[in-house]
Amino acid sequence: MTRVTELNDALRKTLAGGHLVMTASVQALPSEMVAKALSAMRSFDCFTEDNDPHQEHDFGNFEIDGYIFFFKIDYYDSTMEYGSEDPADPSKTLRVLTLMLAEDY
């Protein structure tokens, strides 16, 4: 497991070490559905060659009650103006975890 994978897993599982963003369509769902989606995202472990070709655990999808959710982790520099020069270094990287519905992608 790479350092990037470890940092991504930590953010996804604990919501610490970065920022969580939810699209407007996720925020518009009933709070119980949002809670279910966050729980499913935090426990997600179905990484495959298809959804994780670089083995960074930076993307996943799951379904709850007919809703298909995606999550995606992006890496930015500290100003959020550019991509991070080294996603393995938390002092140089701001992680943003976005939870969205499939139709938002």
Mean of per-residue pLDDT scores for the chain: 97
65: its two tokens: 């009650």
Q: Would the pLDDT of 60 be above 90?
A: yes
pLDDT at 1: 80
pLDDT at 65: 96
- Separation of alpha carbons 5 and 91, rounded Å: 16
Domain borders along the chain are 3-104
What interhelical angle do 3-14 and 31-43 show, nearest 10? 150
How confident is the model over 3-45, as pLDDT tens digits? 999 999 999 999 999 999 999 999 999 999 999 999 999 999 9
Give this prediction's pTM.
0.95
pLDDT band at residue 59 under the 50/70/90 scheme? very high
The SS3 call for residue 89 is coil
Q: Would the pLDDT of 105 be above 90?
A: no
